[in-house]
Chain A
Amino acid sequence: MKSFPEKVSRVTYHVSRFTFYVFFILLVFASAKTALAQQPTPSDDDVNAIAKQLYCPVCENTPLDVCPTQACAQWRDLIRQMLAEGKSADEIKQYFVENYGARVLSEPPRTGFNWLVYVLPPIAFLAGAYILYRAFRSWRALAKQAASTGTESPTPDENEYVARLEEELRKRK
């Protein structure tokens, strides 16, 4: 049979052990919750990957990732903040379009007259290629014709002229 002080110390031991476990479990939960609540901070590369698809709304033709102004720094911070909130690249770009207009996009949206930007260059390229093809064909046809009619070879008159020229040159030597 255990004495009273022994019983007390045993109870104290169990209570302190229980308390330790409770604290340990609470600590684990608290850490996990904190870890879940925090998104990893987006790196500069993450921010610039989106920023380079956007243009500074106030400077002419300057991509947002290389723009040195304070305004652009604010917009890059905004991208970082939105990425940390878990927003996708498309959502961020949409936010920029709604707030600053479609001109911030490096690629114009494929709507209305903007289609001309995508359609005209290939058409112009194909038209140029066709014109060149026709020009080469006509040049080749002319060359063939010239060869068949013998216009390239010197005529007897020309032969006589060449012979006289060579004679003159020999005399001068």
Chain B
Amino acid sequence: MSENVQVTTTPPKRSVPLWAQILIWVGLLGLLAILALAMKRSQQGIVKVGDTVKDFTLTTFSDDAHPAGQQIRLADLRGKVALVNFWASWCKPCEQEAPDLEAAWRAYKDSGEVVFLGIDYVDTEPEARSYIAKFDITYPNGPDLGTRISQAFNRNMGVPETYIIDRQGKLRFIQIGPFQSVAEIQAIIDPLLVEK
């Protein structure tokens, strides 16, 4: 009978050292914290209608009058209605709305109550200049250097996109895709001009 007796000994349990366990947990928690921060940041940045638009400065394309370009700060436009249009020379729908935007600008520019800003989104300068000349665009236009301006809106999914900001600096209208007519643009801006 003694032959059948089996000696079962449990092998000494080798556990991960405590310092390594702490390190692993700290690392994992740190990663989760970074992910949470990144998600919170991306959610916070999305500008919605009614939000105050984050300030940005547009440096316009240089011309004879402004060899180094003109600096236009959104915060300095408080008291006026601002139309911010994102476009690119490689964007075909942008060409569709370009004449309407220019016509609307010419209708408002003498009033001094409305400002149009053209933001050239990830484009090459020679082609952008050709585009401006082709559509005889006279309102200020400049490149979105380092995509900082589109990041200020943080919802730029493509071009064209247009944001209309009221006199208090609050976003009042978002147009994804091209405007279809001058009347459509005026129908959005005119009510904002009545507000004080």
Q: Do chains A and B stick together as partners? A: yes
A77 touches B124 (CB 8 A): yes
A99 touches B143 (CB 8 A): yes
Taking the closest CB of chain B, its distance from the CB of A137, in whole angstroms, is 8
A100 touches B7 (CB 8 A): no
Taking the closest CB of chain A, its distance from the CB of B90, in whole angstroms, is 4
B127 lies within 8 A of chain A by Cβ: yes
Contacts of A70 in B (CB 8 A): 90
Q: How many of chain B's residues touch chain A, expressed as a range?
A: 20 to 34
Choose one: B90, B124, B151; the contact of A78 (CB below 8 Å).
Answer: B124
Choose one: B34, B90, B145; the contact of A71 (CB below 8 Å).
Answer: B90
A134 touches B14 (CB 8 A): yes
- Looking at A20-28, A149-157, A161-169, the stretch in contact with chain B turns out to be A149-157
Contact A149 to B6, CB < 8 A, known contacts A71-B88, A75-B124: yes
A138 touches B122 (CB 8 A): no
A129 lies within 8 A of chain B by Cβ: no
Contacts of A142 in B (CB 8 A): 11
A78 to chain B: closest residue by CB: B124
B4 lies within 8 A of chain A by Cβ: yes
Q: A123 to B143: give the CA distance in the assembly, Å.
A: 41
B88 to chain A: closest residue by CB: A71
Contacts of A97 in B (CB 8 A): 146
B85 lies within 8 A of chain A by Cβ: no
A/B pair count, beta carbons within 8 Å: 59
From 55 to 107 in chain A, residues with beta carbon under 8 angstroms from any chain B beta carbon are 57-58, 69-71, 74-75, 77-78, 97-101, 103
Taking the closest CB of chain B, its distance from the CB of A149, in whole angstroms, is 6
Contacts of B24 in A (CB 8 A): 127
Scan B16-44; emit 1 where CB is below 8 A from any A CB, else 0: 10000000100100010010000000000
Taking the closest CB of chain B, its distance from the CB of A51, in whole angstroms, is 14
Scan A23-60; emit 1 where CB is below 8 A from any B CB, else 0: 00000000000000000000000000000000001100
A11 lies within 8 A of chain B by Cβ: no
Q: A74 to B90: give the CA distance in the assembly, Å.
A: 8
Most buried by A among B34, B89, B146: B146
Q: A58 to B124: give the CA distance in the assembly, Å.
A: 13
Choose one: A69, A100, A151, A156; the contact of B90 (CB below 8 Å).
Answer: A69
B9 lies within 8 A of chain A by Cβ: yes
Contacts of B64 in A (CB 8 A): none
A16 lies within 8 A of chain B by Cβ: no
Q: A127 to B147: give the CA distance in the assembly, Å.
A: 38
Contacts of A74 in B (CB 8 A): 89-90, 123-124, 127
B111 lies within 8 A of chain A by Cβ: no
Contacts of B16 in A (CB 8 A): 134
Q: A74 to B121: give the CA distance in the assembly, Å.
A: 13
A116 touches B90 (CB 8 A): no
Q: Report B's interface with A, CB cutoff 8 A.
A: 3-4, 6-9, 11, 14, 16, 24, 27, 31, 34, 88-90, 121-124, 127, 143, 145-148, 151, 158
30 examples of A-B residue contacts, CB within 8 angstroms: A58-B88, A58-B122, A69-B90, A71-B122, A74-B89, A74-B90, A74-B124, A97-B146, A98-B145, A99-B143, A99-B146, A100-B122, A101-B148, A101-B151, A103-B147, A113-B34, A116-B34, A120-B31, A134-B14, A134-B16, A138-B14, A141-B11, A142-B11, A145-B9, A149-B6, A149-B7, A150-B6, A156-B3, A156-B4, A157-B4
